[in-house]
């Protein structure tokens, strides 16, 4: 069965510091991969997606993610954290079957310290 | 577009009562998903529909849960009878894709926070 692993349920960074949120996928075929962000008391919002085009994907709010097949990873980064980036981040993988439902990771809560 | 609309936003009910959560997907979208989010279990897919037909309900916890999609613009998730362990945030999401060109990008509603006492 497919699985998405997010290393670290909580990550804390200082404002202005690099943000790195880790995600590893399990699919053996080139997958579709997503990062979603959830702000407090809101639904999930798409941050960026990888669909077999460029391996470095740029998203909203200055975030980007790099697809590395050799490492089965899709880590999310942002060069300089802002207080408004504090949220929960979910990595997700599209199915390699006819199903349409994404497989979500368990989420990483990002705290940004002033 | 107004996005995915869910109602109510908050629901507090007593154990044993019937609860109905509602969702209006984005117009034109042909897939609809119901999720449940709790601290303990994270984000769980309950059921999803494609072209109003339930495709996978393996995530529905038990017979107390049922979901319907009578038309392309409306879906309900019903819990009867409700129990305290059903307390969670329930999200609805929708997406648009063709059989030969699936689009997995999902748009989420704001969620319904359910509290069963």
If you average pLDDT over residues A51-78, what whole number do you get?
92
Instruction: Identify all chain A residues contacting B24, using CB atoms and an 8 Å cutoff.
Output: none
Tally C-beta pairs within 8 A across A and B. Answer: 52
**Which of A41, A46, A90 minimises the CB distance to B43?**
A90
If you average pLDDT over residues B59-67, what whole number do you get?
92
Q: Report the gap between the CA of B111 and the closest CA in chain A (Å).
A: 6
Q: How confident is residue B56, by pLDDT bands cut at 50, 70 and 90? A: confident
**Which of A41, A99, A102 minimises the CB distance to B106?**
A102
List the single residue in A with minimal CA-CA distance to B111. Answer: A43
Peptide bond connecting B113 to the previous residue in cis, omega within 30 degrees of 0: no
Residue B27 has pLDDT above 90, yes or no: yes
**Could you please report the per-residue DSSP string of B55-66?**
EE-TT--STTEE
User: What is the predicted pLDDT for the residue at B73?
Assistant: 95
List the single residue in A with minimal CA-CA distance to B92. Answer: A43
Chain B residue set in contact with A, beta carbons under 8 Å: 4, 31, 33, 42-43, 45, 48, 50, 55-56, 91, 93, 95, 97, 102, 104-111
Q: Which residues pair with A20 in a beta bridge?
A: A77
Contact B55 A99 (CB under 8 A): yes
Instruction: Decide if B31 contacts A100 (C-beta within 8 A).
Output: yes
Residue A27 has pLDDT above 90, yes or no: no
| A91 in contact with B, Cβ within 8 Å | no
Q: Count of residues for chain B?
A: 117
Higher local confidence (pLDDT), B91 or A32: B91
Window A:2-61, CB contacts with B under 8 Å: 32, 34, 36, 41-46, 49
Q: How confident is residue B103, by pLDDT bands cut at 50, 70 and 90? A: low
Instruction: Decide if A81 contacts A19 (C-beta within 8 A).
Output: yes
User: What is the predicted pLDDT for the residue at B70?
Assistant: 96
Residue A100 has pLDDT above 80, yes or no: no
Query: What three-state secondary structure class fits B94?
Result: strand
Residue B109 has pLDDT above 70, yes or no: yes
User: What is the predicted pLDDT for the residue at B98?
Assistant: 61
Q: What is the mean pLDDT of chain B?
A: 91
């Amino acid at each position: 069965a497919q699985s998405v692993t997010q290393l670290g349920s909580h990550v804390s960074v200082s404002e202005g510091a690099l943000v790195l949120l880790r995600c590893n996928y399990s699919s053996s075929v080139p997958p579709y991969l997503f990062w979603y962000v959830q702000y407090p008391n809101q639904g999930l919002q798409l941050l960026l997606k990888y669909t077999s085009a460029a391996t470095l994907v740029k998203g909203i709010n200055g975030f980007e993610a790099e697809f590395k097949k050799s490492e089965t990873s899709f880590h999310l980064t942002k060069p300089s954290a802002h207080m408004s980036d504090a949220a929960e981040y979910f990595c997700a993988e599209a199915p390699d079957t006819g199903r349409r439902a994404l497989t979500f990771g368990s989420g990483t809560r990002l705290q940004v310290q002033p | 577009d107004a996005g995915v609309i869910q109602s109510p936003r908050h629901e507090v009910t007593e154990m044993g009562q019937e609860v109905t959560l509602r969702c209006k997907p984005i117009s034109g979208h042909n897939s609809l998903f119901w999720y449940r989010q709790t601290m303990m279990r994270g984000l769980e897919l309950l059921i999803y529909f494609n072209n109003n037909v339930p495709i996978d309900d393996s995530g529905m916890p038990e017979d107390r849960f049922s979901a319907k999609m009578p038309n392309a613009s409306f879906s309900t998730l019903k819990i009867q009878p409700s129990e305290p362990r059903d307390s969670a945030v329930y999200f609805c999401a929708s997406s648009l894709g063709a059989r030969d060109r699936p689009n997995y990008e999902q748009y989420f509603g704001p969620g319904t926070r359910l509290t069963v006492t």
